[in-house]
């Protein structure tokens, strides 16, 4: 009885393997969408399996091409951000639960994010490694080789050598341009300006705006003063500059004017 077999006693199906063809399809999908989970599902594999293959010694080419694929995906996203930042996007306008029209919305934040990405790429200081950028240039050839089962050893060595040369070049020049903190500060400034512009004038908080201390205001405080209508009040500028103009300035200007000859009296040569 114990040795009796049953029709359902079949060995379990072997787990699917990362064939060279599946690796190629995964990498191409990753370059299109930037999502590891979606790309793995596209080829019928798991995200965890993709990471395991990436950590293996035989997965060195797969690992390098993975980073290159993400560079291409980020470039696509940067193009999308730049397009939306420059051209805006259509947004449906609803009023009392009814669609009443469309409007084009713009976001300075999106534009700044795209420009920051493009600046970093131009300076060669984005988050990808130098070897990954070399692989991104060879991406199509490299992916085809991986799909054919090639370990790409020579290609990896050439990319590593080019990466070392790039690092030497970059370290020998000074990097200019805004820091990450400066870029984020600009982004926050643009977003706050946009928020102030959307706020009705009567809802602008002016409790901290003392015209007598206007010389200490920052740009956003001036923006709130302008949006709220405070700058249109009759006595606003008198409070900003209580001393007014220097009474002697006009006399000084008149004296200076008298020192200059009449332009109409100059002789022609």
Summarised one tens digit per residue, pLDDT across range 192-202 is 887 888 888 88
Looking at per-residue pLDDT, the higher value among 241 and 97 belongs to 97
Q: Is the dihedral of CA 197, 226, 223, 87 positive or negative?
A: positive
Looking at per-residue pLDDT, the higher value among 207 and 181 belongs to 207
Least confident of 128-132, 177-181, 211-215, 241-245: 241-245
Residue 101 banded pLDDT, cuts 50, 70, 90: confident
pLDDT at 231: 84
b/e code 176-213 from CB counts within 10 Å (16+ = b)? eeeeeeebeebbebbeebeebeeeeeeebeeeebebee
pLDDT at 53: 94
SS3 89: strand
Residue 100 banded pLDDT, cuts 50, 70, 90: confident
Looking at per-residue pLDDT, the higher value among 165 and 9 belongs to 165
pLDDT at 92: 82
Mean pLDDT over all residues of the chain?
Answer: 77
CA geometry: angle 248, 252, 256, nearest 5 deg: 170
pLDDT at 112: 66
Return the domain boundaries, the chain.
20-170+178-198, 206-257
Residue 222 banded pLDDT, cuts 50, 70, 90: confident
The pTM of the full predicted model, rounded to 2 decimals, is: 0.51
Each residue of 39-89: pLDDT tens digit?
999 999 999 999 999 999 999 999 999 999 988 888 887 777 777 767 777
pLDDT at 49: 94
Q: Looking at the DSSP assignment, which residues form a beta bridge with residue 253?
A: none
When computed from its CA atoms, the radius of gyration of the chain, rounded to whole angstroms, is 32
Each residue of 3-43: pLDDT tens digit?
554 444 544 554 569 999 999 999 999 999 888 999 999 99
pLDDT at 122: 46
Residue 230 banded pLDDT, cuts 50, 70, 90: confident
Distance separating alpha carbons of residues 60 and 80, to the nearest angstrom: 31
One-character DSSP codes across 142-176:
HHHHHHTT---HHHHHHHHHHHHHHHHHHHTS---
pLDDT at 58: 92
Average pLDDT for 173-180: 56
Give residues with Cβ within 8 angstroms of 236, minimum separation 6.
211, 230
Least confident of 79-88, 159-168, 182-191, 241-250: 241-250
């Amino acid at each position: 009885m114990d040795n009796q077999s049953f029709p359902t006693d079949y060995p379990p199906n072997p787990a699917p393997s990362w064939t060279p063809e599946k690796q190629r399809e995964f990498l191409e999908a990753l370059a299109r969408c930037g999502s590891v989970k979606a790309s793995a599902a596209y080829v019928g594999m798991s995200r965890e399996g993709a990471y395991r293959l990436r950590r293996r010694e035989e997965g060195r080419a797969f690992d390098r091409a993975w980073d290159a694929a993400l560079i291409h995906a980020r470039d696509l996203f940067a193009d999308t951000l730049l397009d939306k930042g420059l051209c805006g996007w259509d947004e449906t306008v609803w009023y009392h639960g009814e669609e009443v029209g469309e409007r084009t919305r713009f976001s300075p934040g999106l534009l700044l994010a795209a420009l920051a990405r493009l600046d970093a790429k131009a300076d060669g200081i984005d988050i990808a490694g130098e070897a990954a950028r070399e692989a991104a240039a060879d991406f199509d050839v490299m992916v085809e080789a991986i799909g054919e089962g090639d370990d790409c050893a020579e290609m990896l060595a050439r990319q590593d050598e080019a990466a070392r040369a790039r690092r030497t070049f970059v370290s020998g020049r000074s990097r200019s341009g805004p820091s990450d903190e400066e870029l984020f500060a600009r982004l926050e400034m643009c977003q706050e300006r946009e928020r102030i512009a959307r706020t009705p004038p009567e809802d602008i908080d002016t409790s901290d705006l003392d015209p007598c201390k206007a010389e200490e205001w920052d740009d956003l405080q001036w923006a709130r003063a302008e949006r709220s209508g405070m700058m249109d009040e009759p006595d606003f500028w008198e409070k900003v500059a209580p001393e007014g103009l220097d009474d002697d300035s006009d006399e000084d200007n008149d004296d200076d004017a008298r020192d200059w000859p009449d332009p109409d009296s100059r002789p022609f040569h």
